[in-house]
Amino acid sequence: MDRIRITGGAPLNGSIPISGAKNAALPLMIASLLTDDTLELTNVPRLADIQALLRILGNHGVDHLVAGKRPGQTSETGQTIRLSARTIIDTTAPYELVSTMRASFWVIAPLVARLGEARVSMPGGCAIGTRPVDLLIMALERLGADIEIDRGYVVARAPKGLRGGEVIFPKVTVGGTHVALMAAVLANGTTVIENAAREPEIVDLAACLAKMGAKISGAGSKQVVVEGVPRLHGASHEVLPDRIETGTYAMAVAMTGGDVLLENTHPDLLRNALEVLGETGADVISTNEGIRIRRNGGGIAPVDVTTDPFPGFPTDLQAQFMALMTRAKGTSRIRETIFENRFMHVQELARLGAHIRLDGDAAVVEGVEKLKGAPVMATDLRASVSLVIAGLAAEGETTINRVYHLDRGFEALEAKLGRCGARIERIRG
């Protein structure tokens, strides 16, 4: 298994191109199942999760074509993928495929909406607490699907098609909102989604669905209204920038010091996290090309943070922020309200010398003068990258094992950090 070796202590200086968002690309690719025309997606990141989803879609009969490079494109230009779900040959998503990535469960919505049936394995994914699908199922039921749980599979049936309805989420769920949207666009009649997730990735999916002929209003607000249409057509859509990758590199610079321009991204995607970064003492400057992050000299101020659905502080940046706080001049409290078991990075950060105590749903981080490199183990996607950030700021050598988690969500991580002066390399094997 590959490892990443970092020799810490170097500040980051230069520019980092931000990739298309994994969490937008996945539902957009799944939306290709809604039409028998071709859906073209540009700015798709090169990630293991994208490859895994292509395999899952391929199993349903979706053809894909990854376009070759065009003049002027660099290795940092995202991929263009054309997806064609002209003929669906199989409405089952098997355990072997779905268990590798939780978001693949969402195929259930377009399959039942377009074909009247779907049989999808209960999902797997990052080990960050129980992540049920009860609300996703509830949404489908509200739109008229009959649901049966059969030997680890969720079977959804709507032989006469779905019908519009009211979906009220008792808790904000990104996946639930994606599923409700994809089911409602082909349902007969009007659907009202209440307490919808407001994440930018939801807005991006809604924008793409609208290009495909869907009638959606209110995406990005708590109430989304969908007027069902009989069929959708092909479209071309550019995946929005990855706000979690943006925030991750911003935190890396805030921790190591230096001056980095994060290109092809914009601050509206993560206002709250950027404000918090500013409070820690980093300069956050919006430019026409992206977001510039700078910290020179001054120390890191401790800031308390609570994760929340968008527009709050993202749970997907909690681990990275904790890494930053391990070197703060004082004590900070980080509360996790979205996932109950998302503190697995704590014990690994402690191996680097961090002082962190868990207190219910919060971590209390007492900043230390310095971290010291050590071998550590990646446990999930965001936790892994928090160890990279800590390693960049630690004295000496840090080796991160099990980096396949990183490959699921961070495109060209070593190259992007390396060109800004980080001493980071991948050891194959």
Q: What does the binding site for ligand UD1 look like in residue numbers (CB under 6 A)?
A: 23, 26, 102-103, 131-136, 171, 173-176, 201, 315-316, 338-339
Choose between 201 and 348: whose C-beta lies nearer to ligand UD1.
Answer: 201
Closest CB to ligand UD1 among residues 78, 175:
175
| Shortest distance (Å) from residue 201 CB to ligand UD1 | 6
* Shortest Å distance, C-beta 197 to ligand UD1: 6
Which of 60, 178 has the CB closer to ligand UD1? Answer: 178
Closest separation in Å from C-beta 23 to ligand UD1: 3
Q: Whole-number minimum distance, CB 272 to ligand UD1, in Å?
A: 13
CB 240 within 8 A of CB 21: yes
Name the β-bridge partners of 414.
none
Residues in the chain: 429
Give the residue at shortest CB distance from ligand UD1.
Answer: 175
- Work out how close the CB of 281 gets to ligand UD1 at its nearest, in angstroms, rounded to a whole number: 27
> What distance in Å separates the CA atoms of residue 346 and residue 169, rounded to the nearest whole number?
31
Alpha carbon distance 203, 200 (integer Å): 5
Cβ closest to ligand UD1, residue 58 vs residue 132: 132
Distance CA 196, CA 353 (A): 41
Q: Please, what is the minimum distance in Å from the beta carbon of residue 385 to ligand UD1?
A: 12
Q: What is the DSSP string of 302-356?
A: P--EEB-STTSB-GGGHHHHHHHHTTSSSEEEEE--S-TT--THHHHHHHTT-EE
Residue from 25, 31, 126, 270 carrying the catalytic annotation? 126
Beta pairing partners, 333: 364
- Return the closest-CA partner of residue 80 out of 49, 50, 111, 48: 50
DSSP string, 131-193: ---HHHHHHHHHTT-EEEEETTEEEEE-TT--B--EEE-SS--HHHHHHHHHHHTTSBSEEEE
If the CB atoms of residues 109 and 328 are measured against ligand UD1, the closer one turns out to be 109
Are the C-beta atoms of residues 34 and 211 closer than 8 Å to each other?
Answer: no
Residue pair 423/395 in contact by the 8 Å Cβ criterion: no
- The answer to whether 91 and 115 have CB atoms below 8 angstroms apart is yes
Active site residue 420: no
Closest CA to 251 of 295, 220, 206: 295
Which stretches of 15-133 are DSSP H helices? 22-31, 48-60, 95-98, 108-115
Burial of 417 (0-12, 13-18, 19+ CB in 10 A): buried
By beta-carbon proximity to ligand UD1, the closer residue of 170 and 298 is 170
The CB-of-409 to ligand UD1 minimum distance in angstroms stands at: 8
| In the complex, least distance from residue 162 CB atom to ligand UD1, rounded to whole angstroms | 18
In the bound state with ligand UD1, the residue whose beta carbon lies nearer, of 202 and 300, is: 202
User: Of 46, 155, 179, whose CA–CA distance to 102 is shortest?
Assistant: 179
- Our CB check for ligand UD1 shows the closer of 132 and 330 to be 132
Structure tokens at 137: 């199922």
Q: Please give the positions annotated as active site.
A: 126
